[in-house]
Structure 1
Amino acid sequence: MTALQTSSPLDDLCALQHDDGRWEAEMVWSAGLLAHYVIARRVAGPWPMDADDVRGTLRQFEVTRLPDGAWPVHLEGEGSTSGTVLAYVALRVLGVPPDDELVARARRWLHARPNAVLHMPSMARVWLAVLGLYEYEGIAPITPELLLAPTWFPLHPHRFSCHVRQAYAGMSQLYGAKVRFDLGELTEPLRAELYDRPYRSIDFRAARFRLDAPEVCAPPSAAVSFAYRLLSLYERRPIPALRRAALRRSVALTEADRMASGGQGLTVLHGLLGHLGHASSAPPTAELHRRILAFDVWRWHDDQEGLRFTGARSSSWDTAFALRACAAAPSTPAARAAVAKAHRWLLRQQVTEELPSSENTGRDPVLGGWCFSDAAHRWPVADCTAEALSALLVVRERADLRAVTEPVPVRALVAGVKFILSRQNRDGGFATYERARMPRVFERLNMTETYVDCMSDHSYVECTGSCIAALARFRRACPSVHARVIDAAIRRGVAYLKSQQRPDGSYRGEWGITFTYGTFFALEGLVTAGVSRSDPAIARAVSWLLATQRRDGGWSEHHSSMLSGVHTELPEAHAAMTAWAVLALLAGGLPDDHPAVQRGRDRLLALRADHDGRGWPKQAANGAFYGSGVLDYRLYKDVFPTWALGAHSAEARA
């Protein structure tokens, strides 16, 4: 037997650690982000992408194109109008000729769908309008004056979730100023190629409120449509002084985000929207070039898949779970060394400086939190903070691991706890980046067209599970610190989780797929927070997991569960999802030798053996956001199965 075949899951996981101590693998979303970047590079000035990046870009569009010639909005989606249009424009901007097979098939796909480009979602319309390939009169109003409303106004953008708020600031700046960049000799050919009729004969105004694209999951409600028609009247003659003030405000919001995040923005998409606005009013200077180079933090590049941009970097998130996996099993010298490096890295990613108090950006305080990525991002998240704290505290509980790690200052733990508490909503659940600022009913005013339940940062099952688990672990480690406040927060979090259990016993997750994910975090949170394993909520959740175990011993779930609300299996067992289920069953009180636990672990080992005995194969996507967004966290297939194989039931630990 070779060394490759005898490596352990823990050794394999340690081998994936980066030199600086973090764990991180790509979080895959969409080639559309690359298209946005290519377009932004083109209009920013005379700094073309280098030859390696051009080759990498072409490679990425080649490997993500569907057999019918279109591009999806996520890696497992069907062909989308917006994804195909933006990829087409990006390829032509890079010099791909119109008769090249890569774009010719995409053009045929578009032309086979009458009015496809005219009726695509507003975000894509804005990107085309910026390039002179769509008329602003055909875009539903994105009126920047809304940013000037008093902050008590229920629909002030400060009340939106941070992703919607920052997108609104960037898009309203472009829309309000009617920003237009010149593509030169490429403009007329692209106008002729994208549309099935002469560009100047198109009635863009008639298309303003029409949506007809596969990616539209949240068409405007009657209330939103009525508001659009009122704003359309205003947009005929906007008040110049108000428009100028509103544009200054939108610029201030995008610039504040750029400065706070070290130039990278909340996401690369938000950053690029702000970059376009800045580039429209600034000459192409070296400073403008440096601004767009700051977005390289979002890039991944290899020969197999080419150049791509990710929707988020997941280094703190991945590292916290990898530490939990390492702490779940008997360690080796190599594992202890890996834990020491990761522990040191994670401890240094806590946000230790507050945002400038003078900036009226609508953001909640950030001090003490952990980001999804690293401290430089300065967009900390409640459950990222909770999982970082849990990882640090779990490592601290093991004497052999505590001996190789530096002590965690109590003040750092307390700061993290205060950050978590600041994200608890009135309903007892926990949000992500910020507390909820509008009632859930306001989701009826969703204006994004392509995402659901995204207008407000409401409470989430998995965030709540992570947060009450971290608070409970801190409570055991530091029993005299903020005990009354923490106990009250845990009680409210437990009550929220119990209220969210579905009749079949499952819990719906919204940042992973879907019910398996949510049930794992809910059970881990409830039990760690002190809920008895004999509690009916725990018993119902365990029963649901047992009922959804596949005949082969594994678990699996298709991303369509997000929108349908119905648990739907994949054709085969999924390693990460099987691991979530095994961990949840152990948390729920099943012993190590329970047949369901054993069969789940056997399936994990079989999947590993089928992959040459090292690591686990790449499978279906495992992450999600806002209902229709599908992600693949590439480290999940290694970290959660390793954790599940090393974990033991409470009885075995005792």
Structure 2
Amino acid sequence: MWKLKIAEGKEDPWLVSVNNYIGRQHWEFDPKAGTLEERANVERAREGFKRNRFTMRQSVDFLMRMQLRKENPSVEIPEAIKLEGTEQITEQAVETTLKRAVGYFSTIQAHDGHWPAESAGPLFLLPALTEDGGWGFHIEGQSTMFGSALNYITLRLLGEGPDDGEDDAMARGRRWILDHGGVIGKMLSYCRLVYLPMSYLYGKRFVAPITELIQSLRRELYTQPYSEIDWNKARNTCAKEDLYHEHPLVQDVLWGFLHHFTEPILNRWPFSKLREKALKTIMEHIHYEDVNSRYLCTACIEKVVSLQFEYNLSVIRENPSGNFKEMYRHISKGAWMFSIHDQGWQVSDSTAEGLKAAILLSQMSLENKIEEECLPKMEVSQLGNPKELSGGLRYVECTSSAIQSLSLFKKLYPTRRREEIEECISKGIRFIEESQNYDGSWYGCWGICFTYGTWFGVEALATLGGKCYNSSSLSKACEFLLSKQLPDGGWGESYLSCTNKVYTNLQGNRSNLVHTSWALLALMKAGQARAFMKNCILNYASFRNIFPIWALGEYRNLQMQEEISTITN
């Protein structure tokens, strides 16, 4: 049986950690683990996943949750209260549901303080075979040449034969590839840190030994003999299933010029010296990234949503080593990282949400609460530099998180860097307002899609006291969300909204628990609750717990505020 190991690694001389391996997760197989009943439950779950793999493609973290619930102390879960139709939502119903949700969620917390969860969706995390035989770019998507070719080749390298696999999986995958033109074509790359090793191999003209397996793949995956392929003609070819954005003619001309004219020159002396220097620089960047991310690199894209109480082990205390600016890295001291601390890549929304959590914890009556005097030491410069907001790619979600955390910090420390913070908030609000769509929505880049973006847009504008009755932007946002509510009272948005940039309901107009929570959080924050009494695509397994708890908690707070207001008046 598979067991999840958490925060372990001290005994391995090849592993390095700056925070005692907190947040590290890896699976190990133990043939003797588990009782007979547990093994039977696992087998039933495996069979169920296989049977429903085309309709329910997420693993739902069954194995991990079963293990953690066994390891953690049991919690008494109250009986559920079911409401029928238009039955009134009582205080008892909300509190009981919250206690049930929080009680369960506490039983799936890891011993080091974080909540482990599957981060799935993109092809490189958990590829899913589609019904037509190919593989998509993400688990909900249609088959693509990129996904199909990469997975097929990976399986062959791992020892699968060309006709192996259950239900002729390999043959069906190969048939899809050949039916769609073969693997000639450009494929997606993961920005600079993927281009680095790719460009090094290209510059070195590296060619792996031509084994029998490689020769077999050349026969299996191309629609014509490999030796007869016109690679000059194929340079700008892309399978239509993968072509989301056509590259302009000038780009094709540039690539052709670089290949036919620049490349031959750089391979001849004395210009070859420039190529050698470039390759040396590339290798320095690769080694630098390995060392400063403890060999995790930036590709482990786990968006941290679960609250990490050990904040002092999560916040980054030092900048990257050496002259990090030459390595195209930025200051990280005082920030929160993209993933676990060892990975070391700071981002604005992780920093913003981390700072918010630290500030809120400092205000709570906890035995080990964060001391307020520690908060200014967390460099607000990570968020408070106005120039950072106007440069590079800008997202509603990241901007909103920064605005919320800076506003919260400003309330606690009204005189600290006041002008910088106020200017940053002002510019951020202006960006939020200008990026709102004509229908009142915002496009979300880190969640699906208009529901997610609109929630963040509303949260940002509400920090300045905006409500649906005093802000035209918030009024339009509420109108948009209410217009997308389904007959059963929920919301459900398809990943197709991300690619088509048009709001699209889930197939069958189904509601989704997470999307409903986002919509309710936005409506409550905008004050609509008082006025109206009624996709690369990622999958985060914890969302189905976190956001409903969040939404119910916000609703209970509103109930309490109204009760206090009634008593006062």
TM over 0.5: yes
**1:416 Cα offset (Å):** 4.0
2:131 to 67, 71, 74: 67
1 CA distance for matches of 2:376 and 2:500? 40
Residue of structure 2 in register with 1:526 after alignment: 461
Letter in 2 for 1:208: R
| Alignment of 1:87 onto 2:151 | yes
| Alignment of 1:212 onto 2:239 | yes
Residue of structure 2 in register with 1:112 after alignment: 179
The answer on whether the counterparts of 2:385 and 2:420 sit within 8 Å (CA) in structure 1 is no
The ranges of structure 1 where at least 4 consecutive aligned residues each deviate by more than 6 angstroms after the TM superposition are none
| Alignment of 1:371 onto 2:306 | no
2 CA distance for matches of 1:105 and 1:423? 53
Residue of structure 1 in register with 2:378 after alignment: 415
Residue of structure 1 in register with 2:15 after alignment: none
2 CA distance for matches of 1:97 and 1:409? 61
Residue of structure 2 in register with 1:347 after alignment: 312
**1:651 Cα offset (Å):** 7.5
2 CA distance for matches of 1:536 and 1:191? 60
Superposition map of 1:267-306 within 5 A:
267=299
Residue of structure 1 in register with 2:512 after alignment: 574
The answer on whether the counterparts of 2:130 and 2:136 sit within 8 Å (CA) in structure 1 is yes
1:585 aligned counterpart, secondary structure: helix
1:362 to 328, 333, 336: 328
Residue of structure 2 in register with 1:503 after alignment: 438
* Residues paired across the two proteins, number: 456
Residue of structure 1 in register with 2:263 after alignment: 235
Residue of structure 2 in register with 1:299 after alignment: none
The answer on whether the counterparts of 2:467 and 2:526 sit within 8 Å (CA) in structure 1 is no
**1:24 Cα offset (Å):** 3.1
TM-score between the two structures when normalised by the length of structure 2: 0.76
Label 1:122 to 1:646 Cα distance change in 2 as closer, same or farther (>3 A): closer
**1:528 Cα offset (Å):** 1.9
Please list every run of 5 or more consecutive structure 2 residues that lacks an aligned counterpart in the other structure.
Answer: 1-75, 81-98, 565-569
Label 1:500 to 1:207 Cα distance change in 2 as closer, same or farther (>3 A): same
1:582 aligned counterpart, secondary structure: helix
2:301 to 312, 318, 322: 312
**1:420 Cα offset (Å):** 1.3
Label 1:651 to 1:494 Cα distance change in 2 as closer, same or farther (>3 A): farther
Label 1:567 to 1:413 Cα distance change in 2 as closer, same or farther (>3 A): farther
Residue of structure 2 in register with 1:27 after alignment: 119
Superposition map of 1:379-528 within 5 A:
379-398=345-364, 402-408=365-371, 410-422=373-385, 425=388, 427=390, 435-436=391-392, 458-528=393-463
Letter in 1 for 2:380: V
The answer on whether the counterparts of 1:120 and 1:213 sit within 8 Å (CA) in structure 2 is no
| Alignment of 1:553 onto 2:499 | no
Please list every run of 5 or more consecutive structure 1 residues that lacks an aligned counterpart in the other structure.
Answer: 35-59, 124-162, 268-310, 321-341, 428-434, 437-457, 597-623
1:221 to 248, 251, 260: 248
Residue of structure 1 in register with 2:551 after alignment: 644
Letter in 1 for 2:458: L
The answer on whether the counterparts of 2:348 and 2:398 sit within 8 Å (CA) in structure 1 is yes
Residue of structure 2 in register with 1:605 after alignment: none
Letter in 1 for 2:263: E
**1:585 Cα offset (Å):** 0.8
1 CA distance for matches of 2:497 and 2:336? 29
2:529 aligned counterpart, secondary structure: coil
1 CA distance for matches of 2:428 and 2:122? 34
| Higher relative contact order (Cα pairs below 8 Å, separated by 6+ residues) | 1
2 CA distance for matches of 1:243 and 1:356? 26
The answer on whether the counterparts of 2:459 and 2:525 sit within 8 Å (CA) in structure 1 is yes
The answer on whether the counterparts of 2:494 and 2:504 sit within 8 Å (CA) in structure 1 is yes
**1:563 Cα offset (Å):** 2.3
2 CA distance for matches of 1:171 and 1:66? 29
Residue of structure 2 in register with 1:295 after alignment: none
Label 1:593 to 1:18 Cα distance change in 2 as closer, same or farther (>3 A): farther
| Alignment of 1:200 onto 2:232 | no
1:647 aligned counterpart, secondary structure: helix
Label 1:538 to 1:243 Cα distance change in 2 as closer, same or farther (>3 A): same
The answer on whether the counterparts of 1:88 and 1:103 sit within 8 Å (CA) in structure 2 is yes
Label 1:206 to 1:593 Cα distance change in 2 as closer, same or farther (>3 A): closer
1 CA distance for matches of 2:184 and 2:78? 54
2:546 aligned counterpart, secondary structure: helix
Q: CA offsets per residue over residues 565-601 of structure 1, 9 Å max, x none?
A: 21111121111110011111111013369434xxxxx
Q: CA offsets per residue over residues 379-402 of structure 1, 9 Å max, x none?
A: 01101111111122223334xxx3
The answer on whether the counterparts of 1:425 and 1:459 sit within 8 Å (CA) in structure 2 is no
**1:121 Cα offset (Å):** 2.1
TM-score between the two structures when normalised by the length of structure 1: 0.66
2:538 aligned counterpart, secondary structure: strand
RMSD: 2.3
**1:403 Cα offset (Å):** 2.0
**1:643 Cα offset (Å):** 0.8
**Structure with greater proportional helix content:** 1
Q: CA offsets per residue over residues 270-312 of structure 1, 9 Å max, x none?
A: xxxxxxxxxxxxxxxxxxxxxxxxxxxxxxxxxxxxxxxxx52
**1:363 Cα offset (Å):** 1.6
Q: CA offsets per residue over residues 19-68 of structure 1, 9 Å max, x none?
A: 1111231111334x26xxxxxxxxxxxxxxxxxxxxxxxxx66xx21122
The answer on whether the counterparts of 2:490 and 2:516 sit within 8 Å (CA) in structure 1 is yes
Label 1:66 to 1:195 Cα distance change in 2 as closer, same or farther (>3 A): same
2 CA distance for matches of 1:242 and 1:363? 24
Residue of structure 1 in register with 2:110 after alignment: 18
Identity of aligned residues (%): 29
